[in-house]
Structure 1
Amino acid sequence: MQKDDWVESTVNTFSSNTTDSIMKSIKNDQITYGNLSVKKSSGYYLASPIKDNLRNEATRLRDVLWTYDNQRLTVSFDNSVKLKNPKEPQTTLNSLIKDKAKVLHGEDYVYSKALSTKSMVIYTQKIGKLPVYSPNGQIRFNLRNGYITGYSQSYLLNVQVLKEKKPVISQKRALIWLYQYNKLVNNSTVKWVHLAYTRLLTVNGSVIYIPTWVLAVESNSSGSVQYRRINAFTGAFMEQNQ
């Protein structure tokens, strides 16, 4: 808490000269990025109780095999679903996710191109205007040879606002903080910077979520991608890599 208080107290102390100097250093370290917004917004602390609602509701599913463990539902289809267009899997999944006999609460999730891969298509739950970029609150569809074989799902239930609305730092400021924490590798590309809810901690049987700047950083030499998180309220680096 002391660290967060210190970071928050210094968020607004940057001068334009300081910002320009840091951005120049980022460029000199061969770190590239796209257009970054300086617009500030606001958000909330949220809480979702840890419940086994998916296990209780899974009996409604049809023509699937399912298991449940640690608030996560894993489903295998009796008959795999063929993708209409493997390059745009969402064209098939947008219809499948609305089938209440195959997917629970599908209307609460949206397709995430940024998080999806060739073997897994991710749909994120939305809370207000923000997606959830944590394993909680996502459906992860498994792809194999042009077919959807099944998925795993977690769901945030009865989400509650804990505190009053708080200001959120800008997209550009999040990149600057990450660089100052020495968490941006040289010779890399920042593929995207998204504002989303991620998990902060668990307390009193509920999981707390906060607005978070999530950055996907790709090494230009190895091609590996790291996901970094910045607390959008305070600018603090969040160690846990989800």
Structure 2
Amino acid sequence: MQFKRIQVLMIILFIAVDLFLFNWWRSGRQSDTQVTNASSNVIQEMRRQKIDLPQFSNKREYANYIAAKPDYQFDETYQLLPTYSSKIRQNTLEVQFSQRHNIQLPTQKVAKKIANAQGYQHNALLTQLADDQSYYSQTMAGLPVLSVGGQLIFSYNRKQELTRFTQTKVTHIKRLRDERVTITEKDALIDLYQFNELNSGDVVGRGLLGYDTQLTVNGYDIYLPVWIFVVTHSNGKQQLVKINAFTGENLTS
């Protein structure tokens, strides 16, 4: 009888402690409303600093860590081109066009054909940073590759004729672990401001979520999702800034 009473008392004590710990945890936890208010305050502060912000999204996406290897095979590209001068250097296909033998230089339509046939998508943000070039990015898990690997870069002359291009590819793409939620475009902008990457008079373009690589393990490049933005500073210079879309870490070089 005494033993049963002790059991009942222990159960009651356990429940009481559990409830206490839960309430203590909840009281110290910021509510969604508090987080939203704090974010809004930072955005207002940025605008008071005359930082021109884009029409940002507050939508959360899901992404993975991804492993992939550089691809050395460019047979698909060769089949799309006439016999132009080409070579492979450090995992990169380099193709040079010329007007020899009265052959006209290709136009942007040819560039789009080469890119679309291999699943590369036009990357307006990276193109914005380049003079007389257009970027097309390979995609992984629905997002563009933002690093050097997985890019088609076309160069043009003043007549917008194609003079050369380079291509890199990734293959053996593997998703690592389950999908995780990413920070929003708004969160990334706030992180950039708190890391002092945004200053008074800066103009920030729309962000782009994609995959960038940070390290190599056993021959595989490891990619993680990042938010990138083009910032035009008050002196007119443009800068590419990056935020880790999982942790909010500043990856700007």
Which structure has more helix as a fraction of its residues?
A: 2
Report how far residue 204 of structure 1 moved.
Answer: 1.1
Contact 1:63 1:77 in 2 (8 A): no
- The AA in structure 1 aligned to 2:96 is S
Report how far residue 168 of structure 1 moved.
Answer: 0.7
- In 1, the alpha carbon distance for the partners of 2:229 and 2:210 equals 10
5+ residue gaps, structure 1: 1-9, 84-88, 99-105
- The AA in structure 2 aligned to 1:182 is N
Query: Within the alignment, does 1:26 sit opposite 2:46 as a pair?
Result: yes
Aligned residue number for residue 165 of structure 1: 179
- In 2, the alpha carbon distance for the partners of 1:96 and 1:47 equals 25
Query: Within the alignment, does 1:184 sit opposite 2:204 as a pair?
Result: no
Report how far residue 154 of structure 1 moved.
Answer: 0.5
- The AA in structure 2 aligned to 1:81 is L
SS at 2:118 equivalent: helix
SS at 1:34 equivalent: coil
Aligned residue number for residue 120 of structure 2: 109
- In 2, the alpha carbon distance for the partners of 1:51 and 1:112 equals 20
- In 2, the alpha carbon distance for the partners of 1:113 and 1:16 equals 31
Report how far residue 181 of structure 1 moved.
Answer: 0.9
- In 1, the alpha carbon distance for the partners of 2:186 and 2:76 equals 42
Find 1:93's aligned residue among 94, 111, 115: 111
Which structure has more strand as a fraction of its residues?
A: 1
- Taking structure 1 as the reference length, the TM-score comes to 0.80
Higher Rg of the two aligned structures: 2
Query: Within the alignment, does 1:145 sit opposite 2:158 as a pair?
Result: yes
5+ residue gaps, structure 2: 1-29
Report how far residue 81 of structure 1 moved.
Answer: 2.7
Contact 2:143 2:210 in 1 (8 A): yes
Matches within 5 A, 1:1-242: 15-54=35-74, 62-79=82-99, 81-83=105-107, 89=108, 91-97=109-115, 106-116=117-127, 117-146=130-159, 147-219=161-233, 221-239=234-252, 241=253
Choose between structure 1 and 2 for higher RCO, CA contacts under 8 A separated by at least 6 residues. 1
Contact 2:72 2:169 in 1 (8 A): no
Residues 1:64 and 1:33: Cα distance change in structure 2 (over 3 Å) = same
The alignment yields a C-alpha RMSD, in angstroms, of 2.4
Report how far residue 33 of structure 1 moved.
Answer: 1.1
